[in-house]
Amino acid sequence: MLISRLLRVLAVLFAVIMVAAWWMTRPQTIAATDLPDHQPDPAGGERVFWAGGCASCHASPVNGKRAKGDDKLLLGGGLELDTPYGVFRVPNISPHVDDGIGGWTSVDFVNAMQRGVSPDGRHYYPSFPYTSYARMPAEDVMDLKAFLDTLPPVSGRIEAHSLGFPWSVRRGIGAWKRRYLVEEPMTFGVSPTLVERGRLLVEGAGHCGECHTPRDRFGGMLRERWLAGAPNPEGKGRVPNITPGGENISEWSAADIAYYLESGFTPEFDTVGGSMVAVQENMAKLSAEDRAAIAAYLRALPVLD
């Protein structure tokens, strides 16, 4: 009798735990009725496209190399990201109806970008930097979709990720999001208009923290070390500290930073290198006002060494 009661209690406890786990890991999405009343603007979306460096990952590789020129607008995906968690493969985001995102609605796209949830309700892995895009104005995300819809459709679906256990359990990403998917700014006390404009670009569309901020053992960014430098996700070396305390940038003025983003030249007449080359090329397509805003924001950050 006692054993029977104990088994029933354990069964109930197990059921409660399973329901709680399901609840904690469920995808949380934005409803279409919650979207702002906004007419998407493809021209504004092009600005977001270059600020976000979308082509750097999603443009189809050409002869095994990253796309250049007009090929950057062929967003068939295919880039492979080899990480400690496994190999992530970048998807097709061209407006192809079957193989890309041509059949997505505006709310589908916003949920993917800002909640990390696919149209069919699956969690996206944070190799897609939606934790940064969550800080973008929803209007910018809607504009980006409008711009992507103007690009050429590219056929071909990309293979699934190759991940080992437990990373292959996609549902568990829901618990990870509860800790790391936050919309609040990474920095506080930002008030001047130019600096705030830069914050939206750096913390949101530009997702600079994805490379320049160190992470904890669960892969979440350390807020207290925002943009203070981190191990290079593509291999050897480190991505530099770009706060005013950074060794390479501490003496730079806001004008120096803006010029670097435009030209690729440092104040010492050195040139941009490594993975930053593609970033700088994208930033060069922004307006001078946007580059000045990014520079003003970076100079306004706390000094971290």
Domain residue limits, the chain: 28-183, 184-305
Total Cβ atoms within 10 A of residue 293 = 25
pTM of the model: 0.89
Name the region of 69 (left: φ>0; alpha: ψ -120 to 50; beta: rest): left
Amino acid letter, 282: N
Name the region of 222 (left: φ>0; alpha: ψ -120 to 50; beta: rest): beta
pLDDT given for residue 24 in this prediction: 67
The Cα–Cα gap between 294 and 300 comes to 10
Task: Give the pLDDT band of residue 94 (cuts 50, 70, 90).
Answer: very high
Give Cβ neighbours of residue 175 (< 8 Å, ≥ 6 apart).
Answer: 24, 25
Residue given tokens 């997505």 in the structure block:
104
The Cα–Cα gap between 200 and 206 comes to 8
Mean pLDDT of 236-244: 91
What is the per-residue pLDDT across 129-156, written as a single tens digit (0 to 9) for each?
999 999 999 999 999 999 999 999 999 9
What is the per-residue pLDDT across 184-235, written as a single tens digit (0 to 9) for each?
888 766 567 899 999 999 999 999 999 999 999 889 999 999 999 999 877 7
The Cα–Cα gap between 142 and 110 comes to 7
Residue 5 has pLDDT above 80, yes or no: no
Give Cβ neighbours of residue 113 (< 8 Å, ≥ 6 apart).
Answer: 130, 133, 136, 141, 144
In angstroms, the first-to-last Cα distance of the chain is 65
pLDDT given for residue 165 in this prediction: 86
Give Cβ neighbours of residue 221 (< 8 Å, ≥ 6 apart).
Answer: 131, 180, 209, 210, 213, 214, 215
Long-range CB contact pairs, 61-70, < 8 A, 24+:
66/278
Total Cβ atoms within 10 A of residue 5 = 9
Q: By three-state DSSP, how is residue 23 classified?
A: helix
Mean pLDDT of 157-162: 94
Token pair of 122 as six digits: 């699956």
